[in-house]
A and B are shown apart, each in its own frame.
Chain A
């Protein structure tokens, strides 16, 4: 029981990170029908941006005001990652719009390779680490000498994710931009007819997707303390799995799918074999695609014609 609870805490933490990345996959898929294979690498790049920002700030401000540092790092990572993703969309995807369906997909794979290689060359192939940003645990309770703990880091991840999701939810459901986005998702031609600048809305989608990935990237760096150029691929594919499991195109589905994947991974590690945790996570992708291709929250598309 105590092991289960501990794994539940760990799994939700990991799942929050996957969920934030998964939103990016699902949003971009929703609006232009493309799986953005570079999104995992955008997440990795955001982690590096956070790393550089963190090291710079700590050397400037010292590590005493860690809350402020973390906050600034988060903002910086979100801004720069958004800029990166905006540029990628502009250069690599927009010119291919209206081309054959696979063209942007191939371009995305190219961007994925480009980003990871660029980071490898400029930052070096080894793991980059930072001194621990946040320390401390809350022991929730102890049973059979097994303390169930919630670390401060985990708490921060939960809170930041929850706050961001609320902001994001508000943006999508209540604002002009969110409405324009959903309109483009359903019918770009009609959206243009009512005066929505479709290209600009798609750009904004990439910006928002990147900002959320940057939150995930910063949290990932804070949680694990290390990041390498290759860290985009596996979390990226897991987040993609989460998006598929939740039903690609569905925003709540992405978050819930993310948490489920996080839980499957940690539970598998605890009760079966940690070596096969990725196999477990990816099996979910295959199983979902075979038995539940529309995902948990995928829309059954009932529309009157």
Chain B
């Protein structure tokens, strides 16, 4: 077995004195879709941001593509081709859609720009129509597409997606999940997906992790987790969500 693309080992992250991640272990292998599910406030987004070095892990170790990135500045981590579509989308709202995509390509090889741009615009044709519009004027779904497209412009080896389905209509969610599936199947893109929408995420993913209160409590293939009674009651059958 080859070494994983992303390795997280006993990572602890604090906000002030509050421990948000209490020793997280997790792997993402090349070519996989891995999902992390859990309730609000479990620490999912914190883990995503910790991987990118903001906030920084106080203890533990994070390896990406054979390099220890635990102490690396955020922009240098991005240069290793680790791209994130973060919580809340964080579109540059006073920049146009095209400029947002150009920002996404900051670390990418400029000679591929045209090709990458065509690729993401084929994937999300809606962005083509909005290309010279300001990011802040887009609808929620379009902004989410833009956030993903922006991350893709970096030609990432690993794409971190934080709740891409949040607040979107079911049809749009399907479009976005289809796009993730296509990217993984056709381009071999490795995806690490954080979701509250557990059913869709687990159906899409090869493997999944469940996070509760800053701990990973369960892991397994998507199918295994979907069948687990605890998961069903907590995340699927309209239990708490």
Contacts and interface: CB of A to CB of B under 8 A. Distances in A.
B75 A189 contact: no
Contact of B136 (A193, A194, A302): A302
Contacts of B83: 193-194
Contacts of B90: 187, 189-190, 193
Given A195-B79, A303-B93, A179 B143 contact: no
A196 B76 CA distance: 9
A187 B93 CA distance: 9
A179 B86 contact: no
B92 interface: yes
B93 A195 contact: no
B138 interface: yes
A197 B79 CA distance: 10
Interface in A174-205: 176, 179-180, 182-183, 186-187, 189-198
B184 interface: no
A143 interface: no
Nearest to B90: A190
B94 interface: yes
Interface residues of B, number: 29
A182 B75 CA distance: 16
A186 B92 contact: yes
B103 A197 contact: no
A186 B93 contact: yes
B92 A187 contact: yes
B136 to A, nearest CB: 5
Interface string B63-82: 00000000001110011000
Given A192-B54, A304-B138, A197 B75 contact: yes
Given A195-B79, A196-B75, A304-B143, A299 B94 contact: yes
A186 B54 CA distance: 17
Contact of B95 (A182, A195, A299, A302): A182
A193 B137 contact: no
Classify chain A: how many residues form its interface, as a range.
20 to 34
B54 A190 contact: no
B78 A195 contact: yes
Contacts of B106: 176, 180, 194-196
A193 B92 contact: no
Given A189-B90, A194-B150, A195-B79, A183 B74 contact: no
Contacts of B95: 179, 182-183, 186
A187 B78 CA distance: 16
Interface in B147-171: 150, 154
Contacts of B52: 193
B104 interface: yes
Nearest to A302: B136
Interface string A14-29: 0000000000000000
21 contacts: A176-B106, A180-B106, A182-B94, A182-B95, A183-B95, A186-B93, A190-B90, A191-B103, A192-B75, A192-B78, A193-B74, A193-B83, A193-B86, A194-B83, A194-B107, A194-B150, A194-B154, A195-B75, A304-B93, A304-B136, A304-B140
Given A182-B92, A182-B99, 8 more contacts: A179-B99, A183-B95, A190-B90, A190-B92, A193-B86, A302-B136, A304-B93, A304-B140
Interface of A: 176, 179-180, 182-183, 186-187, 189-198, 299, 302-304
**Which 6 pairs between the two chains have the least Cβ-Cβ distance?**
A195-B78, A195-B107, A192-B74, A190-B90, A195-B106, A303-B136
